[in-house]
Amino acid sequence: VWSQVEYLLNTGNLVSNSTLDLSQATGFTVVAEKLNFFRYLSHFRAIHRGAYFAQLRTTTVRKLLPESWGFLCPVHTPDGAPCGLLSHLTATCRVVAAPPENPEDVQQAIITVAASLGMVPAAPALAPPALPQYMGVHLDGRAIGFGAETLVPADLEVALVPYEAGGPYPGLYLFSGPARMIRPVLQLPGGCPELIGTLEQINMHISSKFMHTPKFSFQLVMDHLHAQRSFTCTSGDFSSSAQSVRHRTDAKLYRLQTPQTPIARTQRYDEYHMDEFPSGTNMIVAVLAYTGYDMEDAMILNKSAVDRGLAHGTLFKTEGLDLRDDKGKAMVRLSPLAQVRSQGVQKNEERIDVDGLPHVGTVVYPGQAYYSKVDRATGKAKTGNMKGEEVAVVDQVTIVGTADPNLQRANILMRINRNPVVGDKFSSRHGQKGVLSQLWPDINMPFVAGTGMRPDLIINPHAFPSRMTIGMLMESLVSKAGALQGKFVNGSPFQDSDGVGSTQELVKTASDALEGAGFSRLGGETLISGVTGEEFAADIYIGPVYYQRLRHMVSDKFQVRSTGPVNALTHQPIKGRKFGGGIRFGEMERDALLAHGAAYLLHDRLHTSSDYAVMDACASCGSILTPLLRPAQTTNVGAHLLASQGVPKKIGQVVCRACETGRAMTRVALPYVLKYLVTELAAMNIKCTFSITQ
């Protein structure tokens, strides 16, 4: 049993002799990603309906029903196919994981209290009482008696389904067992929090004005954002994933080297201790159409700020060396330097130590050898070369093993610097994601007339009207006031409903603080062009905004190829970046070339650079399948057969099997996939002929 459970946890596949009446047999586990610490925690709060529901055309399973309100987060769900199927528990939702310590005593106490409140205990025959308005009372699925709806007190944590609500199951349902979801709400008569369940919530009278659930969100001023712009749940990928990065050997790990704490934050930000794993940087953002490099979702970064370490990140990769074979025996060993010298590879001594492992701190370029192993069977040394296209530094070498004297495994941790380059993706906490289009020199950046401050980032003003991210404008204003006053600002959403204050008061307080410090109360400042030295005609909205660096980077996605592997069937380039494949040129790219008037480029992309092939064709019958190279004559019998068929006796001549002559042969350049298509059609008894002129 334990081996099957271990196999289930490792692979997610359920092995059984029967189907167990399940809709799926695979996909029961997911890999816990450690790219971001809070994303790692969200794996333990995730709920997946199953892969079976992703194939259904109905959208009913993707919707949040009334009993899910407050238990499942309506925001934290991915886009695309798993939308609505992969959801997460809310911050206040708790799962009752264990039964009471003495379940029988607890159930008996509940029955005693219910009887004291007017419940008629159930008879052995479960005969209903004479009064028709009495309904059944159930405890953990077991009928314990009958009671009237008027006898239920308002503070009893039970699920009441009254008669007038409709449905075939009116009654009073009590639950004390495990595997239940509960959440706290504020009870108006008593003024204290109360834990409720999913069935109890459906028929409760809930006042949205006094409900305290929304204040537990950690999305900044969420009530001033469009629903699709709540970006904090999934965006913070490039952050401090763990505090033990130096001791971890994950396959891939990101780390932000210059993290900061945001000025505008929520109450949940401090409760979650998110400063322990920061995910962004406070950048001075100017809303300005300064150059042509900030159109659409592009943005400009200050080159000097990047040189000083703004948004600088590091990628850690681990290369594992397994020295055992399938049976667990030591098959190879790390080679000593003496054998490396005997192999004639002295050029690797500056990187490989005497034990065959690389020196810590060694810079390794793509294609260079950085470790060496010796096969015990042959005694020959074999070096391992650096893969990829990036320069890496050996950050750490770890020996992994047991008391066995034979070395079993070694892990080499490689560190790759990731400075922001053109094409990297950034985003604020409000879904304003953009691509770095230019690293602009500091001397050409605009600066504030009063303080001389230059912005770190320039974003186009056209990014705001259609997305309605008013929360980002508010963050810039209140963060500017908080920076001047030297204090953090509470930007929790739904403050009007919580009675803490209003967002209007928050903005007014920030505006008064800016005006008191000599700045404009609206957040705009007079900027001077760094190129011409002239003032801009309008005030420019500028202030600090907390920006996050995403893991979508050019270094992980760029793809270039001249020649390389091709498909054996079609002779077209294969796909896949790690296989040296090409970039797909599809219908949309074809339409773009036609719209630009560069139609002949299609000949280069789809023919010359794809599956260019020169083949023989018969101008007489128009076929590209019947031409065949005359085989070499090896016997007199073969010569007699060729002569009887009227085929010329010249060896190496291309002849047409249909025309039985080689006088109309010509060489044509065609896409090889065309020959494949003609062959497929010929298999279905469809003949294709071409008009060929010599």
* Residues noted as catalytic: 297
Residue 407 and residue 399: Cα distance in Å, rounded? 8
* The Cα angle at residue 545 between residues 544 and 548, in degrees rounded to 5: 135
Number of helices and strands (H, E) in the chain?
16, 33
Residues in Cβ contact with 597 at an 8 Å cutoff, skipping those fewer than 6 apart: none
Residue 345 and residue 337: Cα distance in Å, rounded? 10
Q: Measuring CA to CA, how many Å separate 236 from each of 63, 425, 547, 623, 657?
A: 26, 12, 10, 59, 66
Burial of 599 (0-12, 13-18, 19+ CB in 10 A): exposed
Residue type, 27: G
Residue 289 and residue 463: Cα distance in Å, rounded? 11
DSSP characters over 54-98: GG-S-SGGGSPPGGGBTTB-SS---SSTTTTTEEEB-SS-EEE-S
Q: How far is CA 238 from the centre of its chain?
A: 11
Residue 384 and residue 392: Cα distance in Å, rounded? 14
Q: How far is CA 206 from the centre of its chain?
A: 36
Residue 60 and residue 64: Cα distance in Å, rounded? 9
Tell how strand 159-161 and strand 171-174 pair up. antiparallel
DSSP characters over 173-224: EE--SSSEEEEEEE-TTT-SEEEEEHHHHHT----TTT--GGGG--STTGGG
Neighbours of 94 (CB within 10 A): 14
Residue found under tokens 């409903």: 497
Residue 642 and residue 170: Cα distance in Å, rounded? 94
Closest listed residue to residue 222, CA positions, set 498, 522, 521: 498
Token code pair at residue 1: 């049993």
Cα dihedral sign for 82, 85, 91, 95? negative
Token code pair at residue 453: 């401050």
| Residue 45: strand, helix, or coil | helix
Token code pair at residue 500: 């803490």
| Bridge partners for 69 per DSSP | 72
Q: Which helix (H) or strand (E) holds 314?
A: strand 313-322
Residue 467 and residue 546: Cα distance in Å, rounded? 18
Residue 209 and residue 184: Cα distance in Å, rounded? 15
Residue 12 and residue 472: Cα distance in Å, rounded? 41
Q: Are 391 and 363 within 8 A, CB to CB?
A: yes
Residue 503 and residue 307: Cα distance in Å, rounded? 37
